[in-house]
A = this chain, B = another copy of it.
Amino acid sequence: MQLTPITPARPVKVAVVGAGSMGLNHIRVLSEFDDERVQLVGVAENFTANLERVINRFHVPGFADYRTMIEQTRPDLLVVAAPTQLHHEVATFALNAGCHTLVEKPIATTIAEAEQLVALAAAQGLRLAVGHVERFNPAVQALKEQLVAGNLGKVFHLHARRLGPYPPRIRDVGVILDLATHDIDAMLYLTNGGVEHVSAETQRLVHQTHEDLLLGLMRFDTGAIGMLDVNWLTPTKVRELNVTGERGLYTVNYLTQDLYFYENDYAPTDWEVIGSLAGVSEGTMTRLKLRKAEPLRLEYEDLLRAITQGVAPTVTGEDGLAVLRIAYRLMEAAQTGRVVSCAAQQVNAR
């Protein structure tokens, strides 16, 4: 199949596989691009009710079979928002058909599958991006800029909390692959770091087949420690990342896209009582001014740029693979009750 070159003269043709909860988000965001930038050429979904819902609402051509869709519509970009177990199969077909491919996270169910996808994309000369969408959260981007500028000094500790109730949408993976991969990716990105070893405790309490609670510890080769506190058992939604270092504490609220900086200060207070309540030596606290935007929109802006300008997307297949490696080490640590070394592997090429 030979694709027409993408030029400024025509929109990028995009097709989506999967019209469940996540697929619907992709379709909505794609539909909000101007017609001259993005043309949504098809949605494939084998659950009829979901397919009809998107046809009805977005007036997009629907397909029961993704292969048919790809062959008939010949998209420039194929978005894989199907269940995780299908990622490898669908992405392989798409890459073989010559499509740039965006795979929702996690990239695949096994490391072998993920490695195959990375290799295939390279062989085909196509872009393979992975949907670690928090990377495009403006608060995460701003935090990275702060760290690069040296405003925190040495990083001591990263602590992610991703808590919430069990979501109604169907899931074929546990909380490590479904949720913790967001924060693993963020931590690898923010530390540039290799992981030396991990330990973890997990529980399966509500979910039928997979773990629904993770408490994981990661030791980075920079000396920093990463903490993952992730579950589907909490009746209030928390999405937070704290990064503590030499000069203070940065806090990301993923939900509101706010970034706070608590600056170190060691001046004493005179008044013992209020001191004991509010902290004896807080410095200035600042909520940084950010330009908020929907991360999934920014992910597509990045990907359109990658496709049309021939550059790498921000979150590559290699990144998705690195995250998956760590996720599996955490599972191993939880299952064996041991500290698991990651030293032999290069988890993050950057």
Contacts and interface: CB of A to CB of B under 8 A. Distances in A.
Interface of A: 31-32, 34-35, 56-57, 59, 154, 156-157, 159, 164-168, 197, 199-201, 203, 205, 213, 215, 217, 219, 223, 225, 227, 229, 231, 233-237, 244, 246, 248-249, 255-258, 262-271, 273-289, 291-294, 297, 337-339
20 contacts: A32-B57, A156-B203, A156-B231, A157-B231, A165-B282, A168-B280, A201-B217, A201-B219, A203-B223, A205-B246, A235-B263, A236-B282, A237-B280, A237-B282, A258-B278, A265-B289, A271-B292, A271-B293, A284-B286, A284-B289
A288 to B, nearest CB: 6
A236 B215 contact: no
B35 A165 contact: no
Contacts of A267: 289, 291
Contact of A291 (B199, B219, B246, B270): B270
Given A56-B35, A235-B262, A235-B265, A159 B293 contact: no
A203 B283 contact: no
A202 to B, nearest CB: 9
B278 A165 contact: no
A283 B276 CA distance: 24
Contact of A285 (B263, B268, B287): B287
Contacts of A271: 292-294, 297
A262 B223 CA distance: 36
B225 A213 contact: yes
Given A201-B217, A236-B279, A256-B278, 11 more contacts: A34-B56, A156-B213, A157-B213, A199-B339, A213-B225, A215-B217, A237-B282, A258-B278, A269-B292, A269-B293, A274-B277
Contacts of A201: 199, 217, 219, 225
Contacts of A264: 165, 235
A205 B225 CA distance: 12
Most central of A168, A236, A244, A288 by chain B CB within 10 Å: A236
A267 to B, nearest CB: 6
Contact of A156 (B205, B257, B275, B277): B205
Nearest to A25: B272
Contact of A266 (B156, B166, B285, B339): B166
A290 to B, nearest CB: 9
B262 A278 contact: no
Contact of A278 (B156, B213, B237): B237
A262 B281 contact: no
Contacts of A159: 229
Given A57-B32, A217-B215, A219-B201, A277 B256 contact: yes
